[in-house]
Amino acid sequence: MYLYFYSFIYFDRHIYIEDLMRFLGNDEALRTFRLFDGGNVTKGISKRALKNWVVNAFRERRALALSLNDTKTAVDNLHQMLTVFVGIIIIVIWLLILKVATTHFFFFICSQLLLVAFMFGNTCKTTFEAIIFLFIVHPFDVGDRCEINGVQMIVEEMHILTTIFLRYDNQKIAYPNNVLATMPIANYHRSPDMGDAIDFCIHVSTPNEKVAKMKDMITR
């Protein structure tokens, strides 16, 4: 099948709907045609459209693999934290059932935990806010191009507490997730088709024929 596609691209420079229907049904062939930008049923799929589709598919697959890898890492870290928390609760219940420790002992432990919570309360708050930002808000994935504080950067790695970005000069910048939660983030990867505007002036005495010709050239 790949050799057949290659022969059509090499000799005819286009792949037509009839070529796909040799291997796919009518509906599948039409859905396949719609995957290619610029693919027309009558004009066919050009070599450029096929090349662009392959490049975009590779980039999306690479970004998805990186995103799944970092998401798995973040989930593993969260799973370890919850495992330790649940383990402590099980040990406490086990000591109460076996009457190894008295209630006075647990009151003493609770008082010490209040002291620890007072000392590390800000850390717990930061961790909770980072988890909410990473798993609930989730404004970006690995490989997305974002703009933060007017600087465009690529999301390189995602962790529980920090996110690492790659700047245009290949400098890696680590942002705390709780800080990112308070900042506006522009995500170009998730945005729809974007455009750019250019303003220019035309003299009032310019003939309408020249204006029409200029519009036609710009459209082309």
Mean pLDDT over each residue of the chain, to the nearest integer: 78
| CB 146 within 8 Å of CB 153 | yes
Question: Cα separation of 142 and 163, whole Å?
Answer: 10
What is the mean pLDDT of the segment spanning 129-139? 85
DSSP state of 44: B
Q: Locate the domains of the chain by residue range.
A: 2-55, 102-193
What topology does CATH give the domain 102-193?
A: SH3 type barrels. (2.30.30)
**Does pLDDT of 197 surpass 50?**
yes
Give the C-alpha separation, 193 to 54, whole Å.
19
Q: How far apart are CA 64 and CA 82, in angstroms?
A: 26
Alpha carbons 64 and 153: distance in angstroms, whole number? 18
pTM here? 0.53
Q: Residue 62 — very low, low, confident or very high, per pLDDT cuts 50/70/90?
A: confident
